Amino acid sequence: MPAPSLTDKNSNVVIIDGSGTLRPVVGGILRDLGYRNVFALKSLSEYLSYPNKYQVAWILTHPYIADPVTVFHLLKICLQDPKLRYLRITVFFDDSEQYLIPFAFSLGTMSFHVGTLSHNSIRNDLKEVISMARSDRSDIAIAARFFRKYLMSREWYMDRLMMEQMLLEGVDQSSEQLLNTAEAYFLTGQEQEGVSYLYETLMFDNSQEELIERMANRYMGKSLKECRNPIKKDTCVVIDSDEAVRKPIAEILSKLDFRSVMEFEDGLSALEFSRKYKNIDLFVTEWKLKEIPGPAFIQIVRHELEADIPIVVCSSLLKDKDEILLKEVGVNKVISKPIQARNFIASILSALKESQYPSELSSKEREFRLKLKSAQTQKAESILNSLLVDSKVPRGKKVLLQGEFALHEGSFQEAKRLGQLAAQIMGYGTFVLNLLGKACLKLGDHENALNYLEKANSLSPQNLERLCAIATEQSAVGRDDDARKTMGQVLEDAPNAAFAKEAQLSIAVRQGEHQEASNLLGNMDSSDSLISFWNSQAISHVKQQNFLQGIEIYQRALRNLPPGYSDNRSFVRYNVALAYTRSNQLKKAATYLEAEAAMTHSPVHKKVCSLLSKVLKSLKTGEPIQLQGSEVNIEEIPRPSKNFYEVVNSPIPPGGRFLWGLYSPDQAFPKEIMSAFESDEQSQAS
């Protein structure tokens, strides 16, 4: 049965009016606006027992925060009962209740009214809701319009910016939302970012030029034409051995206002430049390159530079077998040669726009993976949420992406379960095999990890990072000759790639070749790579309660770290002590902590002293240690607390009901709201 419509004047509208003050004003306005079925009930609990509650399109109510059933109970029930998911709720707040408004919107309120029950102001608010609904504006857009008014009235500009970013990244890539985001940046004093979004709006929809110029003049006192676009087009790198092709491409890109267009005839020179310069906004490359293969070049860029830099492949040499690898390494666009200027420009602009505001399924899927790879977890989660609520996305695809996110978040068993479910739905494609292989690898299931990864490799044999994982797993199961052979394939194409060195290091450590490990560590480019390496090996063991294996890996690290790695040594010592603490080997933990505490300039000195005091107290009193959220392994970043949302326990993903999950207040939920969720008795009334 379809959800009751707000635009259908025969829909049921209910006014909750315990005091008799709301119905005369609001009921009269709604009837004047053409609604024929307007009813009044005395309390929200009466609505929950109302026989036709599922046929109600709109509820208008006070919060009734002191009643047994408040509007927050109702909002929770709407998030839990699929039949009430599309119930619209307008809340009338007194001036003293305004502090409740952010929490109401974060839980799925559609609109609000504050202050006295003035006929004209209420009529204007309700007409605005109805007008937006008639013009097919989404429920999210209606809620955002009203909440935006509240944020502006309170001058909560940072909160507004947070909301606008979530809307833009997750559910609304319209030109109107681009303008709202630009305004939020201007309001928070970030003029350059505001200018950038105005330029993005102009490129996205040039019919908005009048509004764009009006905003530029309002916040900067000048035309946008007087401002340089500060972000979008800094440097572009073009790689092609054929000068007759490379030069025309560079000329076209220069006309697109890139500040600098760098040309290279081979991949190695381009890579050396990119490693030094780094501030690159676009790569345009041939698939077949000199000095280093094109696929290897792209994978090194994705691994060592910003993982989500747009990459366009311009080539006539692609084969059908390359299609899978193109998707795996996140190529944004493929342009066939010979190029035609008009189509080339359109493709480049599309690649730039889709990398920032993905709208197509393939673009969203690619950007989701690239955001995960570059550790932009919040942005990845926003894209994932927009896909989960999209009815056009196949179920198998949703399950697969949820599994990839679970893997990123360290939920390896859940990632494996979702990978197996995805395989049942859509078969064992490359991405499914990748997910299962990586999950098994993290779980220490080397045989199955190797099985899945080798199957994926048979479908796409040029994925060098996967070959590194295969070599590592081959070594883990004692297939050392196979591991050397597999690593040989990687080193032939990318001998100096960081992922190749990390794989060599992993194999050397596993095989006890300490001198080789030490030599490799001495040649690694950055301490960040080391921390990442040790954590990926040891923390996964500690999370699985395999303390002995995790501690052994950390101790090997300490033995093999060469001189000059004092900060890394401090990180590793702290992680060893934390593992000993978690495994209740407190005397050993104290030994490591005391040694590190003596290093007053240690980057983890505060953490070490805090943990040491707890360990010594436990050794003296016998009381168990309660580790805090801050006491985690280095580089293992805890997710923000979501205790309230866990209590709500909604199956509806963020954005699936108004602003639910798209905005979360910085402050803690007031006790009068949290008390509404201490018991589930009222929720069961539905």
How do beta strands 311-314 and 333-335 pair? Answer: parallel
* pLDDT class of 526 with cuts at 50, 70, 90: very low
How do beta strands 88-93 and 56-61 pair? Answer: parallel
**What is the rounded distance in angstroms from the CA atom of residue 618 to the CA atom of residue 72?**
43
* pLDDT class of 90 with cuts at 50, 70, 90: very high
Q: Which amino acid is at 492?
A: E
Question: Are both 1-156+655-686 and 235-357 of the same fold?
Answer: yes
Q: Residue 296: what pLDDT? A: 93
With 50 as the cut, is the pLDDT of residue 253 above it? Answer: yes
**What is the rounded distance in angstroms from the CA atom of residue 555 to the CA atom of residue 557?**
5
With 60 as the cut, is the pLDDT of residue 393 above it? Answer: yes
Q: Residue 444: what pLDDT? A: 85
Q: Write down the pTM of the prediction.
A: 0.52
Q: Residue 201: what pLDDT? A: 82
Looking at the chain, the number of H-run helices and the number of E-run strands are 33, 10
Q: What is the pLDDT of residues 355-383, one digit of tens each?
A: 776 767 788 888 898 888 877 888 888 88
CB-based contact 595:551 (threshold 8 Å): no
CB-based contact 61:92 (threshold 8 Å): yes
Q: Residue 634: what pLDDT? A: 45
CB-based contact 212:181 (threshold 8 Å): no
With 80 as the cut, is the pLDDT of residue 540 above it? Answer: no
With 80 as the cut, is the pLDDT of residue 539 above it? Answer: no
* pLDDT class of 637 with cuts at 50, 70, 90: very low
How many CB atoms are located within 10 Å of the residue 116 CB? 9
* pLDDT class of 416 with cuts at 50, 70, 90: very high
* pLDDT class of 89 with cuts at 50, 70, 90: very high
With 60 as the cut, is the pLDDT of residue 562 above it? Answer: no
CB-based contact 575:536 (threshold 8 Å): no
Q: Residue 227: what pLDDT? A: 85
**What is the rounded distance in angstroms from the CA atom of residue 661 to the CA atom of residue 672?**
21
Range 282-301 average pLDDT: 92
How many CB atoms are located within 10 Å of the residue 537 CB? 21
How many CB atoms are located within 10 Å of the residue 140 CB? 22
Contacts of 174 (CB under 8 A, 6+ apart): none
Q: Residue 561: what pLDDT? A: 57
DSSP letters along 446-509, please?
HHHHHHHHHHHHHH-TT-HHHHHHHHHHHHHTT-HHHHHHHHHHHHHH-TT-HHHHHHHHHHHH
Smallest Cα–Cα separation from 453: which of 211, 443, 441, 520? Answer: 441
CB environment 1-15: b (16+ within 10 A), e (fewer):
eeebebeeeebbbbb
Q: Which two tokens stand for residue 283?
A: 């790569």
**What is the rounded distance in angstroms from the CA atom of residue 550 to the CA atom of residue 552?**
5
Range 385-413 average pLDDT: 89
Helix (H, G, I), strand (E, B) or coil at 90: strand
Helix (H, G, I), strand (E, B) or coil at 37: strand
Q: What is the pLDDT of residues 450-501, one digit of tens each?
A: 999 999 999 999 899 999 999 988 988 889 899 999 999 999 988 888 788 8
Range 418-435 average pLDDT: 94
Q: Residue 563: what pLDDT? A: 46
Range 638-648 average pLDDT: 43
Q: What is the pLDDT of residues 217-244, one digit of tens each?
A: 999 999 998 887 654 567 899 999 999 9
Contacts of 434 (CB under 8 A, 6+ apart): 328, 452, 453, 456, 466
With 70 as the cut, is the pLDDT of residue 606 above it? Answer: yes
Percent of the chain scoring above 70 in pLDDT: 85
**Token pair 């995805």 in the structure block, residue:** 422
Q: Residue 564: what pLDDT? A: 47
**What is the rounded distance in angstroms from the CA atom of residue 178 to the CA atom of residue 180?**
5
pLDDT, mean over the chain: 84
With 60 as the cut, is the pLDDT of residue 641 above it? Answer: no
Contacts of 604 (CB under 8 A, 6+ apart): 570, 571, 574, 596, 634
Percent of the chain scoring above 90 in pLDDT: 40
CATH class of segment(s) 235-357: alpha beta
Q: Residue 683: what pLDDT? A: 42
With 80 as the cut, is the pLDDT of residue 664 above it? Answer: no
Q: Angle at CA 71, nearest 5°, toward 65 and 77?
A: 135
Smallest Cα–Cα separation from 233: which of 268, 270, 195? Answer: 195
> Does the domain formed by 1-156+655-686 have CATH 3.40.50.1820?
no
Q: Which two tokens stand for residue 365?
A: 């899927």
CB-based contact 408:372 (threshold 8 Å): yes
- Most confident listed range (87-96, 205-214, 233-242): 87-96
Q: What is the pLDDT of residues 122-159, one digit of tens each?
A: 999 999 999 999 887 888 999 999 999 999 999 999 88
* pLDDT class of 405 with cuts at 50, 70, 90: very high
Range 246-252 average pLDDT: 91
Inter-axis angle of helices 361-373 and 377-388, nearest 10: 150
How do beta strands 88-93 and 111-114 pair? Answer: parallel
Range 432-439 average pLDDT: 94
Range 571-576 average pLDDT: 83
Give the single-character DSSP code of 336: P
Q: Residue 391: what pLDDT? A: 80
Which residues does residue 40 pair with via DSSP β-bridges, in sequence order?
Answer: 15
Inter-axis angle of helices 157-170 and 377-388, nearest 10: 50
With 70 as the cut, is the pLDDT of residue 600 above it? Answer: no
Q: Where are the domains of the chain?
A: 1-156+655-686, 235-357
Give 518-524's long-range contacts (Cβ < 8 A, gap of 24+).
Answer: 518/560, 518/561, 518/562, 521/560, 521/561, 521/562, 521/565, 522/562, 524/498
Q: Angle at CA 72, nearest 5°, toward 68 and 74?
A: 80
* pLDDT class of 288 with cuts at 50, 70, 90: very high
Q: Residue 256: what pLDDT? A: 74
Q: Residue 204: what pLDDT? A: 67
Q: Which two tokens stand for residue 13?
A: 């509208």
How many CB atoms are located within 10 Å of the residue 268 CB? 15
Hey, what's the torsion of the CAs at 424, 430, 432, 436, to 10 degrees?
Answer: 120
Alpha helices, H only, 81-134: 101-106, 119-134
Range 435-464 average pLDDT: 92
